[in-house]
Amino acid sequence: MDSKIQSNNLKNKNYGFAILVDSCCDVPEEYLEKYPIYVLPLRINYKGQSYRDRIDISPEEIYEKLSVEIPTTSLPEYADAKEVFNNIIEDGYDKIISISISSNLSGTFNLVRLVSDEFKEKGIKTYLFDTKNIAIASGMYAISVANHLEEGKDYEETIQLLEAEYGNSKVFFCVETLEYLRKGGRIGRVASMLGSALGIKPIITCDKDGIYCIAGKERGSKRCINKAVALVKEFASRGKKAEIAIMCSGNRIELPDIKDKLEELIPDCIVKIMGQISPVLGVHVGPGLIGIAVFVTE
């Protein structure tokens, strides 16, 4: 793969500002190609090598290697963040809306804040948005910002709309095991032992502080997925419309069936299958995850 972080080359002709996301927001390629969305990659570290998320390593490569070595993950390097900011400037933007996964799960938000302070002296204005969320549930805020951008909303108006949307996104993860989260220090030993001992499949979400918590537990994968679908339906009832994204880690063949079930249960919702979660998140949860995110609007 290319050794540099790529600019998306969407010059500042039709858009008033750029959008910055980290790689764990899982924004799909179709949006990256269409809008001025720039991605800051987190890092995956093996004993002898460090890789940039989705640039130097794919989700499939992660799962193939898990039986040999479980890597660690880390923040983007400061130099990577500066490179992304410089790409944004070179493409003609001086205003940025930065959207990050929960600051209580990653230090990426604070890293971007530090870099944005440095670029403030160069006249670059950056608005920082801590989603208190993870994966595509964070990325859906970026997609919403891109939609506002396409509608012709200016920088300040889009920020106001984004602030009003805070809390409108939620994700529910059905994980095959809590072992990887436990090894990464992201969920308690007791919870992982409980799931392992009883064959119970947990549903993970983020609480209001952006910290992992268990939203429910069911015995067996099928019942776990059905419970997650019910939780999505419950959350979707908060708004008039719902956009839903389905993702996975590794190979899961049930995604089209889940899509059909959601469309049947939630009138007027838009459901998209968005592929694999980022390699960094794959390290934390292992293969076999199914994630359903929902974004509600008034």
Here the CATH number for the domain that contains residue 188 is 3.30.1180.10
| 147 and 247 co-located in one domain | no
pLDDT tens digits, residue range 45-90? 999 899 999 999 998 899 998 888 989 999 999 999 999 999 999 9
Q: Which of 164, 194, 218 is the last residue of a domain?
A: 164
pLDDT reported for residue 8: 62
Cα–Cα distance between 281 and 283 in angstroms, integer?
5
Instruction: Give me the percent of the chain exceeding a pLDDT of 90.
Output: 76
| 239 and 201 co-located in one domain | yes
| Order of strands, sheet of 43-45, starting from the edge strand that comes earlier in the sequence | 50-52, 43-45, 72-74
CB 35, CB 15: distance < 8 Å: yes
Mean pLDDT of the chain: 90
Cα–Cα distance between 280 and 105 in angstroms, integer?
12
| 270 and 212 co-located in one domain | yes
Residue 1 has pLDDT above 60, yes or no: no
56 closest CA partner among 278, 274, 248: 278
| 175 and 289 co-located in one domain | yes
CATH number of the domain residue 115 falls in: 3.40.50.10440
Residue 91 within a domain: yes
Dihedral of the alpha carbons of 252, 131, 34, 9, in degrees to the nearest 10: -120
pLDDT tens digits, residue range 84-117? 999 999 999 999 999 999 999 999 999 999 999 9
pLDDT reported for residue 224: 93
| 112 and 198 co-located in one domain | no
The number of folded domains in the chain is 2
Q: Which residue segment(s) compose the domain that 242 sits in?
A: 169-297
| 201 and 253 co-located in one domain | yes
Largest alpha-carbon pair distance within the chain?
58
- What is the pTM (predicted TM-score) of this model? 0.92
| 157 and 173 co-located in one domain | no
pLDDT tens digits, residue range 250-270? 989 999 999 999 999 998 899
| 190 and 173 co-located in one domain | yes
| 92 and 188 co-located in one domain | no
Residue 7 within a domain: no
pLDDT reported for residue 176: 83
pLDDT reported for residue 5: 63
